[in-house]
Amino acid sequence: MARRRKGKGVSMRKVREVLRLVLGTQMSDRMIGRSVSISHVTVGRYRRGAEQAGLSYSDIDKRGDLELLRLLKVGKGEDHRTDRPQPDWQWVHQEMKKKGVTLQLLWEEYKAIHPDGYEISQFYTLYAQWKRRLRVTLRQTYKAGEKMFVDYAGQTIPVVDPRTGKRREACVFVAVLGASNYTYAEATWDQNLANWIGPHVRAFEFFGGVPQMVVPDNLKSGVSKACRYEPDINPSYHEMSVHYDTVIVPARVRKPRDKAKVEAGVQVVERWIVAALRNRQFFSLGELNRAIAQLLIRLNSRPFKKLDGSRLSWFESLEKGALKPLPQSRYVFSQWKQARVNVDYHVELDRHYYSVPYPLVHAEVDIRYTATTVEVFHRRKRVTSHLRSYKQGQHSTKKEHMPKSHQMYLEWTPSRMIRWAQRTGEATAQVVQMILQSKRHPEQGYRSCLGIFRLGKRYTEERLEAASRRAIAIRSYSYRSIRSILENGLDRVPLPGTEKQIKPIIHEHIRGREYYG
């Protein structure tokens, strides 16, 4: 039986994301593994490979996929000795509670005393194993600027349509910063992807900065595949996190401590905002959000019961300065879709068709689309872009995407089409003219006209002209109609009104219609 290769099945998108987090953050292998949905063991291999290759953060985009994979190969002969000096894990655990202390710093101090001690990835793993053996469940503490917890409240708020009087329930999005409990809330119509990512963007702007990581519950909009160990992040959600230089780490399934902070925040929002608005009637989502914003000021300014200060004062003194700065531009919501290029070198999005270079026929591509633009990527490289169109059944085609044989179609003009048809006969020319006139843009009728010309080569021009006369007589101007006439031999049947008149039979024993009048 063939031995399975390590790391098999990990996409290059995930490999590059692992390198971004390994080289650009101080996150542990397990945390990165949960974020990217791969094993922490695989993350450790990539970390060692990056260290051995001397890769830097700027090298990620400069190097191609094959070169990165070659550089990340971990050498054979790794040292797995277990007779190494054991750290004082109790001391490590106590030191980790202090502000500014990181596990990497403690490992460096340990390594300075014990040069032959554990490497950093093993140090992280052993500490995590030691913590799991603790019998007492300790209350979790969060460092300033580290985490933002997000979820939707269980309760909704009704909004009445002033025109119809129909009531619609609005959802309430909640975001809570881990260290200060500073809270943001916003009403949305539903929990779809756009209404999930949009409040994230506005929450960052409300806080005036970005945390190191965002911890959502396993909501379908943000997490494509819920899994305790390897949840898959929605591509649009991931793109938003990259734009804001943060990372998504979903709460583990059936691990209530992972989301205790946001559940407490949701409870506070339901108590001090949703309940406070229960007797008010709202007629628009904007009106509701203005009321929520006013109550948020009161909520964040309320003094803590058992601690000094409030959410606002803790945020101002502890967490505001620890957040990452906002990027220069706001994230523009986009969605992704996989598609296969059709034989006509177009891809479909919402029943509109966009062209790509014709050599990509049958290739699988990724479509990134916003409200105004459509971009097509093949193997992570953008191959074209179009303005977004909402006209169903229409085509957006670039001339440079066409094969030469198709580009010559653009050299045709309506008058040239009609002149070409006149070589067959006046009836054929009239049919072509009617087809071109029936289209909003004459070019949309070119394909039908060229098909009619090909019928003349197949059935002779004489029969095509006869079929065109019949199409005019029955007022059916289309390629399909003329093809049907020719296939059924109707072009050889006399047209209505041209048959010889048959005289009625007159006999003294035959009653005429006057008899029955």
Mean pLDDT of the chain: 79
Q: Residue 429: which of 465, 459, 393, 404 has the closest Cα?
A: 465
Q: What percentage of residues in the chain have a pLDDT greater than 90?
A: 15
- Amino acid, res. 197: I
List, in order of start, the domains of the chain with CATH numbers. 12-75+87-132 (no CATH), 147-322 (3.30.420.10), 335-407 (no CATH), 412-492 (no CATH)
Q: How many CA atoms lie within 13 A of 438 on its CB side?
A: 14
What per-residue confidence (pLDDT) applies to 186?
A: 93
What is the mean pLDDT of the segment spanning 277-304?
90
How far apart CA 325 and CA 245 sit, in angstroms, is 9
Backbone angles phi, psi at 167, to 5 degrees: -95, 135
How far apart CA 186 and CA 194 sit, in angstroms, is 14
pLDDT at residue 511 above 60?
no
How far apart CA 471 and CA 481 sit, in angstroms, is 7
pLDDT at residue 423 above 60?
yes
Q: Residue 288: which of 169, 154, 163, 165 has the closest Cα?
A: 169
Strand blocks (E) in 30-166: 147-152, 157-160
What per-residue confidence (pLDDT) applies to 308?
A: 73
Q: Tens of pLDDT along 156-169?
A: 999 998 888 899 99
The rounded radius of gyration (Å) of the Cα atoms in the chain is 35
284 contact partners, CB below 8 Å, separation of at least 6: 159, 162
Res. 350 pLDDT band, cuts 50 70 90: confident
Q: Tens of pLDDT along 198-248?
A: 999 999 999 999 999 888 875 655 554 443 434 466 788 888 888 999 988
CB 46 within 8 A of CB 55: no
Place of tokens 């005036």: 208
pLDDT at residue 327 above 50?
yes
What per-residue confidence (pLDDT) applies to 2?
A: 39
Res. 82 pLDDT band, cuts 50 70 90: very low
What per-residue confidence (pLDDT) applies to 202?
A: 94
pLDDT at residue 77 above 50?
no
